[in-house]
Structure 1
Amino acid sequence: MLRNWIGDEEVQANYGEPVYEDIESIHELLQKWMSSYAKQDFYRWAVVLQEKNECIGQIAFCHVDSVHHVADIEYCIGRAYQGQEYATEALTSVIHFVFEKTGLNRVQAFHRGRNLSSGRVLQKAQMKYEGTLRKSYFYSDTGEYDDKIYYGVIRSDLKL
C-alpha cells in the first residue's frame, strides 16, 4: 500500500484521502477498516496484482443507502498501474458482486471534471452517464471549483 498508492500525494489527492507516510499509521488504518467489517454496510476490497501478490489500490463503498438500496463507490490505483485496466477490472467485478450477492439495486459514482481517466473507467465498467453537477466540487488547496460528473448502473442494466 505504502509503496504503490497510499503514500502517493497525487493518487491520494485524486482519491480525496490523506497521504500515509509510515507503516504504523497504515496498520492503524487497516485495524479501523477490519473492525468496520462488523457493520453490515461496510465494503472495501484491496486491488491485488496477482503476479506479484501486491496491493496496487483499493475499491470501496463510500456510502451505502440501505433504505433505497444504493451504494456510492470509489476506487484508486497506484500511478505505476494506471491505464492498464486494473481499475476497470476491479469496478466491473464489484458491480457483478453487488448484483449477484447483495440486495442493492444501484451502484453510482462521480468523477471530478479534471479526472477524465476515472470517467473512462466508469464508462468501461458499463456505468451510464447521468449528469453533471457544475462547479460543485471545491479544491480548498487551490480555491478552484470543478464539476462532479455522475454515472450509475442498476441491476436491470446487466444481464446476470
Structure 2
Amino acid sequence: MIYCKNEKSIETDNLLLRLFKESDAEDVCHLCNNYNLYKNTLYLPYPYSIEDALSWIKSHLENFNNNKKFEFAITDKITGNLYGAIALTNNQNVNNGEIAYWVGEKYWGNGYATEAAKSILEFAFIEKQYHKVFARHFSSNPASGKVIQKIGMKKEGVLREHVMKENRYEDLVYYGIFKHEANYLCN
C-alpha cells in the first residue's frame, strides 16, 4: 500500500483508492441502483438516484479533512474503472475505526473488496495510528464476512435481530482487529 497524502489516495497492486469526484456520480448511480447490493447494505437507498450519489459525494472532502470519515472510490489502477467504495469511519473518542464497503455486483468475486479492505487497514493502523478497526455484516451476507476474515479480523459477536431491513430483522455479525494483531500488514 502506498498512501499519497497530497492526493488523498491509496495505491495497491491492482487498485487506486481515491476520493470520489462529482463526475463519478453517474457510475455510482449505475452500480448502486441494484437490488442485490441494496439488500446487503445497511444504509444504501433503493432505488438509487443521481441525486443520492451527488449528495453522498458532496461531504467526502470535508469529512476527510476533518478526520471524521475517509471515503474512497475503489478504482482500477490502470483503466480507472469504478468498482465500488470503501470507507473508514473514525471514532475519535477511543481512536478506533469502522470499515464499510460495497462493490458493484458485476465486479463481485474478483478480490477487489479484500484488496481495498487490506489497504484501508494499513491506512488506519500506519497513517492514522488507530488502536482497533472493526467491521460488520448481515448474517444473510456471508460473502462480506469472508472478506472481513481474509484481512485477519476476528469474530467478536452477533447482535441478533439488531436492524430492520425490508420488514424483517437482520443479525449483525461484528469482527475486529487490533493494531498489534495486524503486524502482517507491514510485511
State the TM bucket, normalised to the shorter chain.
Answer: 0.7 to 0.9
Which whole-Å CA distance do the structure 1 matches of 2:163 and 2:112 have between them?
A: 26
Partner SS, residue 40 of structure 1 = coil
Alignment of 1:133-152 (within 5 A): 133-139=159-165, 141=166, 143-152=167-176
Q: Deviations over 1:39-67 (max 9, x none)?
A: 12221111002243111100012x42212
Whether 1:96 and 2:122 are equivalent positions in the alignment is yes
* Structure 2 partner of 1:37: 64
Q: Please give the TM-score of this superposition, normalised by the length of structure 2.
A: 0.76
Q: Please give the TM-score of this superposition, normalised by the length of structure 1.
A: 0.87
Which whole-Å CA distance do the structure 1 matches of 2:140 and 2:52 have between them?
A: 30
Superposed CA RMSD = 1.8
Partner SS, residue 123 of structure 1 = helix
Which of 82, 87, 90 is residue 64 of structure 1 equivalent to? 90
Query: How many residues of Structure 1 are paired with residues of Structure 2 in the alignment?
Result: 156
Which whole-Å CA distance do the structure 1 matches of 2:116 and 2:177 have between them?
A: 15
Alignment of 1:75-114 (within 5 A): 75-114=101-140
Partner SS, residue 40 of structure 2 = helix
In structure 2, list runs of 5 or more residues that go unmatched. 1-26
| Structure 1 contact 128–153 (Cα < 8 Å) conserved | yes
In structure 1, list runs of 5 or more residues that go unmatched. none
Evaluate the alpha carbon distance shift between residue 41 and residue 25 of structure 1 in structure 2; reply closer, same or farther with a 3 A threshold: closer
| Structure 1 contact 107–154 (Cα < 8 Å) conserved | yes
By how many angstroms is 1:112 displaced? 0.6
Partner SS, residue 69 of structure 2 = coil
Which whole-Å CA distance do the structure 2 matches of 1:31 and 1:138 have between them?
A: 27
* Structure 2 partner of 1:123: 149
* Structure 1 partner of 2:177: 153
Evaluate the alpha carbon distance shift between residue 96 and residue 40 of structure 1 in structure 2; reply closer, same or farther with a 3 A threshold: same
